[in-house]
Amino acid sequence: MIDLPLVWAFLIAFSVFMYVVMDGFDLGIGVLFPTFAVGGERDSAMNSIAPVWDGNETWLVLGGGGLFAAFPLAYAIVMPATYPLIIAMLLGLVFRGVAFEFRWRDSAHRGFWDLAFAGGSLVAALSQGMILGALLQGIAVEDRAYAGSWWDWLTPYTLLTGLGTVAGYALLGSTWLVWKLEGAAQDHARRMAVRAAWATIALMGAVSLYNVVLRPEYAERWLSMPDLLWAAPIPFVTGLLAIALLRALAQGREAAPFGCSLGLFLTGMAGLGVTIFPHIVPPSVTIWDAAAPERSQSFMLIGVAITMPLILAYTAWAYWVFRGKVDQDGYH
């Protein structure tokens, strides 16, 4: 017998990971957008993600929709608990998303839509990081419903996770641009990537240390045997990737920095998985408590098994179509 809630927990985690890295570089470019020169540099940066951002953002809908379908209780608790953050994220994504089209349609107000793109991306990134923090620090639940106040999500810890996410997205965005751009714009992206790399490494370290003291059960998962055995490699690999990233940037490599950044996010996600598992809403709701019945989860699993290979195939094809360097006139 398959443990369906466990399978679905991995699928949701996969969606979240896909979203975080794919829209992460879009949002990161948004965060860094004001530092790029008006004109060619900004147009090139925008063109590098214009054909793919919508597909990237769809993983957020799958993450949210998947949570609703597979773990409705978790969805029903987390959304009200982080209400102002969710609303801020959604409004940020509104500004960010329309800016892709509007800046071309209205050259007189392009500066405004560039600002909307940057501001929307920053708000969305910060909110997403803080939602993650609010989840990890624990959510008060009574009688299948959120039982806290509507400011519980605002703590030093969530500010830290928010900043860490902004830095991490900026790292993904800048290393993506190192890969996709040429000339002065690429040089600028590389300088930004070095700063973002240091900020990301520092904030990842800070969040990791904070996690150990955040809740006693987290310390237990990280510091006691036998959990330690499969948790220990994660910080070790993270450290190696961080060194490889900084070296690749220093050596002027083009694709490797983005690859190392993806690796950092993967180990970061794995670390969070060790921290939170088996809860989906710490401290009281496990994945089995929140799971939809077997009929719901198995029905969806059939759909995932059929469609996910196709989705990954045509998404890869779309990326392949728009491979290579990009400039202000689009892809070559």
Partner 1 sequence: MPDLDALLLARIQFAFTVSFHFIFPAFSIGLASYLMVLEGLWLKTGQQRYLDLFKFWLKIFAVAFAMGVVSGIVMSYQFGTNWAVFSDKAGPVIGPLMAYEVLTAFFLEAGFLGVMLFGMKKVGKRLHFAATCMVALGTFISAFWILSVNSWMHTPTGYEIAANGQFLPGPSWWDIVFNPSFPYRLLHTITAAYLTTAFVVGGVGAWHLLKDRTQPHARTMFSMAMWMAALVAPLQIVLGDLHGLNTLEHQPAKVMAMEGHYQSHPDGAPLILFGIPDSEAGTVRYAIEIPKASSLILKHDPDAPLDGLDTIPPEDHPPVGIVFWSFRIMVGIGMAMLALGMWSLFARWRGRLYESKGLHRAALVMAPSGFVAVLAGWITTEVGRQPWTIHGLLRTADSASPLDAPAVATSLAAFVVVYFAVFGAGVWYILRLMADGVQTGESGPSSGVAGPIRAAGITPAAQGMDAGDPREATETER
Residues 132-161 that bind partner 1 (CB under 8 A): 144-147, 150
- Applying CB under 8 A, which of residues 60, 242, 248, 249 lies at the interface with partner 1? 60
Among positions 302-321, residues that touch partner 1 (CB under 8 A) are 303-304, 307-308, 311, 314-315, 318, 321
Q: Is 21 in the site for partner 1 (CB under 8 A)?
A: no
Dig out the tokens for 109 from the structure. 């107000």
Which listed range, 199-207, 210-218, 279-287, 300-308, lies at the site for partner 1 (CB under 8 A)? 300-308
Could you tell me the smallest distance in angstroms from the CB atom of residue 315 to partner 1? Answer: 5
User: For partner 1, which residue of 22, 73, 125, 196 counts as binding (CB under 8 A)?
Assistant: 73
**CB-nearer residue toward partner 1: 35 or 315:** 315
**Least spacing, CB of residue 277 vs partner 1, in Å:** 22
- Alpha-carbon Rg for the chain in angstroms: 20
**86 Cβ contact list (under 8 Å, min separation 6):** 79, 127, 131
Interatomic CA distance for residues 51 and 319, integer angstroms: 8
**Which of the residues 227 through 266 are near partner 1 (CB under 8 A)?**
none
Is 286 one of the binding residues for partner 1 (CB under 8 A)?
A: no
Tokens of 57: 């953002």
- In a 13 Å sphere around the CA of 92, the CA atoms on its Cβ side amount to 22
Which C-beta is closer to partner 1: that of 237 or that of 304?
304
Q: Which is nearer to partner 1, 91 or 237 (CB)?
A: 91
Which residue's CB is nearer to partner 1, number 26 or number 211? Answer: 26
Cα 282 to Cα 125, 139, 289: the distances in Å are 22, 6, 12
Burial label for 245, CB within 10 Å (0-12, 13-18, 19+), is buried
Q: Cis (ω within 30 of 0) for the bond into 283?
A: yes
Q: How far apart are CA 170 and CA 40, in angstroms?
A: 20
Q: Which residues contact 286 (CB under 8 A, 6 or more apart)?
A: 278, 279, 280
For partner 1, the binding residues in 92-111 under the rule CB under 8 A are 93-98, 100-102, 104-107, 110
Interaction of residue 86 with partner 1, rule CB under 8 A: yes
Distance CA 2, CA 41 (A): 51
Q: Which helix (H) or strand (E) holds 62?
A: helix 53-70
Nearer to partner 1, 150 or 230 (CB): 150
Stretch that binds partner 1, among 44-52, 160-168, 177-185, 253-261 (CB under 8 A): 44-52
CB of residue 282 to partner 1, shortest distance in Å = 18
Cα angle: 136, vertex 139, 142; to 5 degrees: 155
Residue 327, strand partner residues: 330
Query: Which 8-state DSSP code applies to residue 148?
Result: S
Q: Smallest gap, in angstroms, from Cβ of residue 216 to partner 1?
A: 28
Gap between the Cα atoms of 270 and 261, Å rounded = 14
Q: Which stretch binds partner 1 (CB under 8 A): 160-168, 172-180, 198-206, 291-299?
A: 291-299
CB-wise, 277 or 331, nearer to partner 1?
Answer: 331
